[in-house]
Structures are given as structure tokens and as C-alpha cells.
């Protein structure tokens, strides 16, 4: 790629100089000139009011591929201790929508060795096909073997879209597969849609510290790969439809991998499971102190809820880091989310806006949290929460 400046069109306005984040463009004799530290970011192209600057791709380096060969949506599952991660089922829900919009099949990919008995059960989650790659060694996650198997499957079957959980495992193998196949990958998507005209996948994710939502397309390469954090999409309900099942045996041995798994250690510090919680009571800076968090905890206990909080409460050491909800914490989608003394910053909202019912308690009637809340209580949480606790204690709550 290279930046081309058309001297005849350039008016010397200097917009490009101001726009360059690297100071890599200057005016010489009232014409824009590139400096050697240009990193081809393209900011000057956007800034030029007379379209005198263009970013040109070197045609020789861009391999043109026939996009029409690629068909189908794939969801790649991961597992730990013989259980498929819940994000895989959530992706099946979104994957079905995308596949229906494109009129193609939805395929569920599992690499493992202990799922033969469970495939019939999985097959009722709305996919058209399950591809089950079996090998005893795949009971554990081997980064290089996953990359090898998945890349080979993609080359052979040519899916157009691949969805992967943005978990530590997914974040490890997804970019390696994308690099191997020269495919586009968008990490940590919060929205996925199809442009019905171009059939491209529209991959939306927060950027610039969560202040902007960017929608990314991959128009010229396939497959279009996206990772999605747990809790963003809803898992489909089990239905009647059954998928076809294809089993492929791989005869891997330990020596086929550059790594050797000696022992799998669970390093999770707590048993907090916000991602699967049905009810969450979350506190923010408005709670006032670590001591006052006992009030939030009491409300959570009465409701059989998990306790969560905003990033500030973690930074103030009022709450353990595992309980942080938001862009740099956990993404949740419970049936009920009660936000107490949380203002509703975008970085918090992106982590909880998919909750079924959101209740906000805040003394500021203009707090942005009320824009996403289904029910709002304007008041001091120190007065409101004791009333709620009393009421809930007097009511026979079905905590399911």
C-alpha cells in the first residue's frame, strides 16, 4: 500500500498536516509532502477536502478470491472439563439469524473426544450440521492443533462466516487461524448483522475506549471471522429440529504439538459466575463506601442474585475484580439487573444492556442509566434499598 498525493489537486490547506497522528506529513511550497515516518494509517486521506490524497493498494499483493465459493456460517465451540462453554450456544442463536438472512447452513464445530453421547442433544440448538473432530488428545486445548484442524476444515469446506467466543481460548486460536488464511478478524464484537445487498457481515464493536461504536466489514477476503464475548447474545431454546452429524477422526499424538500439557490448573480466584447469573444486583460509586456495599449484598442475598459493580467500585477496592461489569469486565445478560448508584457510562452499559429487565436506582433523574433502564427509581439508595429488602422479604420470590 502507498499514499499518493496529487500535487495538482492539493491546495495546501494543511488539513492533512493537522490530522496526521504521527506528524508524518508537512507542507512544502504549499503542497503536502509525506515524511518517512508515515505508517499508512489513512487519516490524511479522510481529512483532505479536495480528495488530493489517496491510499492505493498494491494490486500485486492483493490476492483476489472468488467470494461466491464461500458459503455457510460456522460456530466453533470450546470446552473445559467435558462441558461446552455457554458462549458457543449463545453464538448459535446469532449464527442462526445470520445464516437465515443469507439463506445458508449453520454448522457447529467441536474438537474433542468425549462428546459422542451429547451430539444428539446439541443437535437441537438450531444448527443444520455438527462437525465433530475426534482425537483423544483434543480432550484438552492445544493451541497449534486447534489452529491446524480448524484451518484445514475451513480450506476444505469454505464457510463465509466464523463465530468464536472471545474467551482466552478463542482469543488465542482465532487470530492465528485468521493469519494463516489471510482472513479478516474482528475481536470482541457486540453486534453482528448482514448487509443484505452486499452479503457482507457487519461487525460492530466499541472502540476508542468505548466512546465510538465501529462497524467493520471484510469485503474482499473470506472467511469473515468474529469473536464475541460471553453474555452478548442469547442462547436459543432447545427445539425439535435435528442437525446432521459428521464425525472426523484425527490421529494426533502428543508429539504433533509443540506444547505438552502436563497439568490443567484452574486459576480462577473465585467462584463468581456473573455470565450465567439470572439476577444481578450491581453497585456503583453512589454506594458510598465498602462498608455500605453490605446493603447491596443484602439485596442480592434476598433475591438469590450475584453481586456486581462498576469499574470504580473495583478500583476503590470495594469489590473483587471478577465482579466488574462492562467493557473491561464481564458482559452479562441476566433476567433482572438492578443498578444501584451507577451513572450509566457507556463502558458500563455495553456490559449489561442486554439484560432482560433493567432497574436503576439513582438520585440524579438525569443519570444516563435511566436511558437503558426499563424501570427507574429516582432516590437515595440508602432509603430505597431497605424498603425493597423489606418488601422482597415479605414476598415469596421465585428465584428461578
Ligand X SMILES: Cc1cc2nc3c(=O)[nH]c(=O)nc-3n(C[C@H](O)[C@H](O)[C@H](O)COP(=O)(O)OP(=O)(O)OC[C@H]3O[C@@H](n4cnc5c(N)ncnc54)[C@H](O)[C@@H]3O)c2cc1C
Applying CB under 6 A, the residues found at the interface with ligand X are 209-210, 284-286, 310-312, 324-329, 341-343, 345, 347-348, 351, 361-364, 367, 380-382
Pick the closer one to ligand X by CB: 279 or 381.
381
Spatial distance between the Cα atoms of 166 and 189, rounded to a whole number of angstroms = 9
Backbone angles phi, psi at 338, to 5 degrees: -110, 115
Instruction: Give me the least distance between CB of 353 and ligand X, in Å please.
Output: 12
Instruction: Give me the least distance between CB of 175 and ligand X, in Å please.
Output: 21
Pick the closer one to ligand X by CB: 135 or 343.
343
Pick the closer one to ligand X by CB: 176 or 285.
285
Pick the closer one to ligand X by CB: 44 or 352.
352
Spatial distance between the Cα atoms of 228 and 94, rounded to a whole number of angstroms = 10
Spatial distance between the Cα atoms of 150 and 170, rounded to a whole number of angstroms = 12
Instruction: Give me the least distance between CB of 43 and ligand X, in Å please.
Output: 21
Residue with the three cell numbers 467493520:
216
Pick the closer one to ligand X by CB: 248 or 384.
384
Pick the closer one to ligand X by CB: 146 or 318.
318
- DSSP structure string for 73-93: EEEE--EETTEE-HHHHHHHH
Confirm if 154 and 160 have CB atoms less than 8 A apart.
no
- Quick count: other Cβ atoms within 10 Å of Cβ 167? 18
Instruction: Give me the least distance between CB of 94 and ligand X, in Å please.
Output: 22
- DSSP structure string for 226-278: EEE-TTSSPPPPP-S---EEEEEE----GGGSS----------SS----TT-S
Spatial distance between the Cα atoms of 152 and 135, rounded to a whole number of angstroms = 15
Instruction: Give me the least distance between CB of 289 and ligand X, in Å please.
Output: 11
Q: How far is CA 245 from the centre of its chain?
A: 28
Instruction: Give me the least distance between CB of 57 and ligand X, in Å please.
Output: 32
Pick the closer one to ligand X by CB: 96 or 323.
323
Instruction: Give me the least distance between CB of 11 and ligand X, in Å please.
Output: 38
Amino acid at each position: 500500500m502507498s499514499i499518493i498525493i496529487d500535487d495538482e489537486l492539493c491546495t495546501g490547506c494543511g488539513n492533512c498536516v493537522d490530522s496526521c497522528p504521527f506528524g508524518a506529513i508537512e507542507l512544502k511550497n504549499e503542497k503536502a509532502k509525506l515524511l518517512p515516518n508515515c505508517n499508512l494509517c489513512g487519516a490524511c486521506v479522510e481529512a483532505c477536502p479536495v480528495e488530493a490524497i489517496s491510499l492505493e493498494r498494491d494490486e500485486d499483493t492483493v490476492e483476489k478470491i472468488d467470494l461466491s465459493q464461500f458459503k455457510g456460517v460456522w460456530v466453533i465451540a470450546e470446552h473445559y472439563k467435558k462441558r461446552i462453554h455457554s458462549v458457543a450456544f449463545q453464538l448459535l442463536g446469532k449464527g442462526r439469524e445470520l445464516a437465515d438472512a443469507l439463506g445458508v447452513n449453520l454448522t457447529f464445530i467441536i474438537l474433542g473426544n468425549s462428546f459422542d453421547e451429547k451430539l444428539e442433544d446439541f443437535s437441537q440448538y438450531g444448527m443444520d450440521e455438527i462437525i465433530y473432530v475426534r482425537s483423544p488428545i483434543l480432550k484438552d486445548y492445544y493451541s497449534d492443533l486447534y489452529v491446524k484442524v480448524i484451518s484445514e476444515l475451513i480450506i476444505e469446506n469454505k464457510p463465509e462466516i466464523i463465530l468464536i467466543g472471545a474467551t482466552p481460548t478463542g482469543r488465542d486460536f482465532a487470530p492465528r487461524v485468521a493469519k494463516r488464511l489471510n482472513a479478516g478478524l474482528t475481536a470482541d464484537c457486540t453486534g453482528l448483522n448482514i448487509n443484505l445487498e452486499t452479503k457482507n457481515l457487519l461487525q460492530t464493536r466499541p472502540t476508542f475506549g468505548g466512546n465510538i461504536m465501529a462497524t467493520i466489514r471484510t469485503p474482499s477476503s473470506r472467511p469473515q471471522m468474529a469473536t464475541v464475548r460471553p453474555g452478548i447474545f442469547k442462547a436459543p431454546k432447545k427445539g425439535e429440529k435435528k442437525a446432521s452429524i459428521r464425525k472426523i477422526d484425527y490421529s494426533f499424538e502428543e508429539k504433533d504439538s509443540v506444547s505438552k500439557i502436563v497439568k490443567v490448573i484452574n486459576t480462577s480466584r473465585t467462584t463468581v459466575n456473573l455470565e450465567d447469573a439470572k439476577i444481578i444486583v450491581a453497585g456503583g460509586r453512589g454506594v458510598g463506601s465498602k462498608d455500605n456495599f453490605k446493603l447491596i449484598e443484602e439485596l442480592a442475598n434476598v433475591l438469590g442474585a450475584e453481586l456486581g459493580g462498576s469499574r470504580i467500585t473495583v478500583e476503590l477496592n470495594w469489590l473483587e475484580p471478577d465482579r466488574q461489569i462492562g467493557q473491561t469486565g464481564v458482559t452479562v445478560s441476566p433476567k433482572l439487573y438492578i443498578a444501584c448508584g451507577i451513572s450509566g457510562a457507556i463502558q458500563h452499559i455495553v456490559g449489561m444492556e442486554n439484560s432482560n429487565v433493567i432497574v436503576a436506582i439513582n438520585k440524579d433523574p438525569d443519570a444516563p442509566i435511566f436511558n437503558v433502564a426499563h424501570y427507574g427509581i429516582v432516590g437515595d439508595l440508602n432509603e430505597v434499598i431497605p424498603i425493597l429488602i423489606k418488601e422482597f422479604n415479605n414476598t415469596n420470590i421465585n428465584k428461578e
